[in-house]
Every structure is written in structure tokens, then in C-alpha cells.
């Protein structure tokens, strides 16, 4: 049971996430950093292990994956991970969609890793650019017209996405909804064709995952709309990052949007903690109640470049975090850096995520482990 009294046993620092004196800070907590917590101060790096069995971390470079829409205008995004609450997909489209689409199983929240272009939606046109989040309500009809090749990380949630309840900081931190771009209705004229295809994407039904509707008119024919369920874009450059001078704050303060069992966070450039002895690098943890996907958009961590497009999946119960060498470097360079330049998108899910065959086939860690085993034998 939760208590405002926290016990302290053995050798522990006075402050949380600070003054470790050679120990390794490992947090064992419930509820995604908001429930009961134990900070375990270890002798060794808890991420140094070998894995035997299916519950293992995966790391893939999105540039090595081949979504169907990367080479075929009529192709679809690539499924990366799935559970009953959500699906995570990758799109890399360079050609105009030859049809309109509807994702009928849930809301879509799409992060633009690279590229720019325009969406035709029932609510009106939306321009998009690198760093945008694109929100598309469940079953909204839309069409993508890229101006340049566009790489999207897509999250389809079974329940509706919503803005987290306002906390002590109010309704404008970290996500200020007034910075969202909301479309104006603009019907698209018919171009003379006999039929207009709207392709419905859904989970497989008897092995089939698309259904086609054919209209005699352009489906983007809305003259006006009103209500509180609409498409929008929001750029991460307008995100109000919450910081502390004396402690590295937990990921929950970076929460952007959420659905049942799905939580999306933005980790963006911010001032670094300056209080002496403070650990600037996120502590080791094993996400007891959540699977975690980290999508590396760019930036660096105290001079170490973060690989753009890397997708890292940590199953709940398995330790993850920056290696000890990176932590030691951050301590050595404490006086040289006054900012954290990372750009990472995180997706946390209550239910276990199942990696797709394509993710497993391109897992960097599995390939490295296989090479190591071969070398030993």
C-alpha cells in the first residue's frame, strides 16, 4: 500500500537520483513512475545481460525497414508492434495516395520524422512538416500528398486519444492546445473520374485487412463543420518542456496525449540540471507495468549523437537505460554542457506489445548477439 513514509535501508544517497558515489540507481516502480516505488542502489549495471527467450528488447533502424507505401503509391504502412489497445506503424511515402483512406479501428496520432506535404481531410486541408504531430479521428477520411518523401511513426489507438487532465501547472504545460493548427473546410472538386476509392484499413477479418468503398463523387466534399472531434497538427517546436534544476524529472511530466492503455510523450531539448551531484541521465528502470517504445528523432546526449530513426522497444519487466559509460561521461562533462539536446518520442503501453516479423528480422541486438555467439564457437 502507498505511504507518504519511505523506508531507507543500507547504503543510500540523501537525495533521490543524485550523489550516487559509484552506485547504480535502479528504480522499481508501479504505475509508470506514479505508484509505489523502490530505488535500488546496485553495484553493477543492470542492463548488462544476455537474453534467452521471447521477452527481449528489440532495436531497429527505421531506414532499414521497407513499408509498402515506400515503393508503391497504393501500398500501406508497415506494422511494427501491436496489442489489443493499439498498433504502431511506419510509413515512408513519396507519392500521392491514389485513393482516400479511413482507419476504422481507432484514432491516429502520426509523428512526422522527415518530410513535408499536405493532407486532404474531411475537415479541410492540413499542411505538415518535420516535427509535426498529426491527429486524425477514428474513421476520418483523408488523403496524403507529399511534397517530399515523408517518414511517419503512426500510433493507432483503439480508444480515443485525449489531452491529459490539467495538472498543477495548468492547461498550457507541457502541451498548449492553442498552438495546434486546425483546418478550415475546403471541398475538393470532382476531377471527372467515374468513381472515387476510399480504402478502409482495419485489423484482419478472415485474413483481409482492407475494405473498399466506391463513391461517384469526391469524398472530400464538406462545406462546413462544428464540434470538438476534428483533425489537427501540432509541432514539437511549440511544446513547453517542464524542467527542474535539482532533479531529473520522470517521463510522466512529458506526457503529450493518451488513450486507454497508451501514453505518448515528447522528450525534447531542455536546460540541463545544474545542482551539483544531480544525475542528468534517466535512471535505470524496468517499466514494471508498461512496454516502452523510444523513437529517436535526432539530437544528442551531452555530445553523443542519437541515431535518427532508431526504434527501441523495451518490454515491461526488462531493465533498460543508458549504459554506464554514457552516465560516467555525463558526470565528467557536467560543467561543459548546460542543455540536453535529445529529441525522442516515447510510446508506453499497458499491455504487452508484440513485435512484427519485420521488426524481429531487422533487430540489431539479435544480429549482434548471433555474431558474438558465432565468434565464440
**Given 236, 258, 291, which residue is the final one in a domain?**
236
Residue 12 within any structural domain of the chain: no
pLDDT at site 5: 83
Residue 14 within any structural domain of the chain: no
Shared-domain flag, residues 207 and 75: yes
Shared-domain flag, residues 323 and 220: no
Shared-domain flag, residues 209 and 340: no
Residue 177 within any structural domain of the chain: yes
Residue 282 within any structural domain of the chain: yes
Residue 39 within any structural domain of the chain: yes
Shared-domain flag, residues 203 and 134: yes
Residue 159 within any structural domain of the chain: yes
The CATH number covering residue 259 comes to 2.60.120
Shared-domain flag, residues 221 and 255: no
Which residue in the block uniquely carries the three cell numbers 545481460?
49
pLDDT at site 365: 85
Shared-domain flag, residues 311 and 331: yes
Write down the pTM of the prediction.
Answer: 0.95
**pLDDT in 10s for each residue of the chain, 377 residues:** 667 788 999 999 999 999 999 999 999 999 988 889 999 999 999 999 999 999 999 999 999 999 999 999 999 999 999 999 999 999 999 999 999 999 999 999 999 999 999 999 999 999 999 999 999 999 999 999 999 999 999 999 999 999 998 888 888 889 999 999 999 999 999 999 999 999 999 999 999 999 999 999 999 999 999 999 999 999 999 999 999 999 999 999 999 999 999 999 999 999 999 999 999 999 999 989 999 999 999 999 888 899 999 999 999 999 999 989 889 999 999 999 999 999 999 999 999 999 999 999 999 987 666 555 555 55
The CATH number covering residue 73 comes to 2.60.120.10
Shared-domain flag, residues 30 and 129: no
Of 367, 351, 348, give the one whose Cα is nearest residue 359: 367
Shared-domain flag, residues 162 and 39: no
208, 210, 211, 214 alpha-carbon torsion, rounded to 10°: -140
Residue 377 within any structural domain of the chain: no
Per the CB < 8 A criterion, the answer to whether 88 and 81 are in contact is: yes
Residue 118 buriedness (CB in 10 A; 0-12 / 13-18 / 19+): middle
Residue 85 within any structural domain of the chain: yes
- Distance, CA of 315 to CA of 298 (rounded, Å): 23
Shared-domain flag, residues 227 and 245: no
Shared-domain flag, residues 276 and 207: no
**Given 181, 216, 236, which residue is the final one in a domain?**
236
Count of structural domains within the chain: 2
Shared-domain flag, residues 231 and 245: no
> ∠ CA 47-51-56 to the nearest 5 degrees?
85
Residue 175: which H helix or E strand, with range?
Answer: none
Distances (CA, A) of 79 to 139, 142, 219, 275, 291: 19, 20, 27, 43, 17
Shared-domain flag, residues 98 and 131: yes
Of 131, 133, 78, give the one whose Cα is nearest residue 108: 133
> How many residues comprise the chain?
377
Phi/psi at 265 (5° precision): -125, 150
Range of the domain at 197: 66-236
Amino acid at each position: 500500500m502507498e505511504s507518504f513514509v519511505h523506508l531507507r535501508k543500507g547504503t543510500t544517497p540523501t537525495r533521490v537520483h543524485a550523489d550516487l558515489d559509484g552506485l547504480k540507481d535502479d528504480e522499481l516502480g508501479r504505475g509508470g513512475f506514479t505508484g509505489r516505488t523502490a530505488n535500488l542502489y546496485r553495484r553493477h549495471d543492470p542492463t548488462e545481460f544476455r537474453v534467452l527467450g521471447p521477452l527481449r528488447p528489440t532495436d531497429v533502424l527505421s531506414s532499414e525497414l521497407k513499408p509498402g507505401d515506400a515503393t508503391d503509391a497504393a501500398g500501406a504502412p508497415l506494422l511494427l508492434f501491436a496489442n489489443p489497445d493499439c498498433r504502431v506503424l511506419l510509413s515512408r511515402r513519396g507519392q500521392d495516395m491514389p485513393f482516400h483512406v479511413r482507419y476504422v479501428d481507432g484514432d491516429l496520432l502520426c509523428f512526422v520524422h522527415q518530410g513535408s506535404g499536405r493532407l486532404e481531410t474531411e475537415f479541410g486541408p492540413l499542411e505538415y512538416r518535420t516535427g509535426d504531430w498529426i491527429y486524425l479521428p477514428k474513421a476520418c477520411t483523408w488523403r496524403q500528398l507529399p511534397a517530399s518523401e515523408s517518414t511517419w511513426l503512426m500510433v493507432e489507438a483503439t480508444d480515443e486519444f485525449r489531452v491529459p487532465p490539467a495538472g498543477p501547472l495548468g492547461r498550457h504545460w507541457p502541451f498548449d492546445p492553442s498552438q495546434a493548427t486546425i483546418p478550415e473546410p475546403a471541398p475538393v472538386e470532382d476531377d471527372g473520374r467515374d468513381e472515387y476509392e476510399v480504402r478502409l484499413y482495419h485489423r484482419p477479418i478472415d485474413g483481409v485487412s482492407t475494405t473498399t468503398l466506391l463513391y461517384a463523387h469526391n469524398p472530400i466534399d464538406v462545406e462546413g463543420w462544428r464540434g470538438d472531434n476534428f483533425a489537427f497538427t501540432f509541432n514539437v517546436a511549440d511544446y513547453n518542456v517542464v524542467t527542474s534544476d535539482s532533479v531529473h524529472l520522470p517521463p510522466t511530466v512529458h506526457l503529450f496525449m493518451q488513450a486507454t492503455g497508451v501514453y505518448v510523450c515528447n522528450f525534447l531539448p531542455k536546460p540541463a540540471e545544474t545542482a551539483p551531484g544531480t544525475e542528468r541521465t534517466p535512471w535505470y528502470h524496468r517499466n514494471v507495468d508498461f512496454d516502452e517504445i523510444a523513437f529517436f528523432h535526432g539530437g544528442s546526449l551531452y555530445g553523443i549523437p542519437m541515431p535518427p530513426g532508431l526504434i527501441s522497444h523495451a518490454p515491461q519487466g526488462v531493465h533498460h537505460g543508458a549504459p554506464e559509460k554514457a552516465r560516467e561521461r555525463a558526470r565528467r562533462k557536467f560543467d561543459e554542457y548546460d542543455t540536453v539536446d535529445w529529441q525522442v518520442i516515447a510510446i508506453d503501453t499497458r499491455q504487452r506489445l508484440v513485435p512484427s516479423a519485420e521488426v524481429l528480422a531487422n533487430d540489431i541486438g539479435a544480429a549482434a548477439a548471433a555474431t558474438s555467439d558465432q565468434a565464440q564457437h
